[in-house]
Copies of this chain bind each other. A is one copy, B any other.
Amino acid sequence: MSLFTRAVVATTAARPVERLITHTRAGRAVADRFVAGQSLRDGTEAAERLNRRRMTVSLDLLGEEVTDRSGAERAADEYLEALDAIAARGLTANISVKLTQLGLAIDPSLAAGAVDQLAKAAAEAGTTVTIDMEASAYTADTVDIYADAQSRHGNLGLCLQACLYRTPEDLDRLMPLGGHIRLCKGAYVEPPNIALQTGREIDAAFVRLLTVLMRSEGVRPAIATHDPVMIKMALDLARERRDGFEFQMLFGVRPDEQRRLATMGYDMRVYVPFGSAWYPYLTRRLAERPANVWFFVRALFGTG
């Protein structure tokens, strides 16, 4: 993990910093850039705008680490509403869910049941469910719940993180199940016995997994990176690929590059978070990219 990431993680974990970011206009300005809004309506409107620009969407209801059953059930209900809205408005969109938001930390079967329910509803809405990957404490359960649900429903996908040592084996295990695999570098702070720590090593791991994914058949690669070197490599690997694949980028991050790839005819999916629980999401965005912190600092001093 870089010094930069460490510094941002340590800083944003401090309560006064959280207050500063969540309670000032500067903080709101940053949130406005990376989050579509507080309500489902804000999310679907952002999705409509992106669809008009030939980009698909993954709707993400913000929230994670839910510690009570009612909170988990509420999140599942809100996702069902999101799927209804996708069908009703004819959006080209799916949903991205975090299993801790659906109760994984309370009881894995609670989260598994919600995934079942959402996969069925997504199938009725003609779309898919992507399971986000969270901190490494949840990786094993998340992979297992995904594998089980995907083998029964067939319309799911999972995010895998290049930084984790276990990921190459997870990928080999999951590819035969079809679905889609979202490959990212990894945005959580992990210890050296679990994850690679240096940028060069994580880059190498990302390329290795990207190569395997892009040379595979039957699984849809979703390449989730904003790194120009990795995008270029993906485009080069795409020349040999017959089946589909897509790029994925986050709402508000490199929007020009998102449009450029969409205009070139590539499938570009934008991850659109909405809801009120945006602080943990935002801190990961700040920690993973110096440019995002500068954006915040400029907003704080009114020069943004």
Contact = CB atoms under 8 A, between A and B. Distances in A.
- The interface residues of chain A, by DSSP majority, are classed as helix
Contacts of A215: 212
Interface residues of A, number: 21
Contacts of A240: 168, 172
Interface in A175-229: 198, 200-201, 203-205, 207-208, 210-212, 215, 229
Contact of A200 (B201, B203, B236, B237): B203
A233 interface: yes
Closest 9 interchain pairs by CB?
A: A207-B207, A211-B211, A208-B211, A204-B207, A204-B233, A200-B229, A207-B208, A204-B229, A201-B229
Contacts of A203: 200, 203-204, 207
B204 A230 contact: yes
A232 interface: yes
B168 A201 contact: no
A242 to B, nearest CB: 14
B207 A168 contact: no
B200 A207 contact: no
A240 B167 CA distance: 13
Of the candidates A172, A198, A208, A229, the one having the most CB atoms from chain B within 10 angstroms of its own CB is: A208
A201 B203 CA distance: 10
Interface string A245-275: 0000000000000000000000000000000
Contact of A211 (B200, B201, B212, B232): B212
A207 to B, nearest CB: 4
A201 B236 contact: no
A196 B251 CA distance: 30
Given A203-B203, A229-B201, A168 B236 contact: yes
Contacts of A200: 203, 229
Contacts of A229: 198, 200-201, 204
8 contacts: A198-B229, A200-B203, A200-B229, A201-B232, A203-B203, A204-B204, A208-B211, A211-B211
Contacts of A172: 240
A255 to B, nearest CB: 23
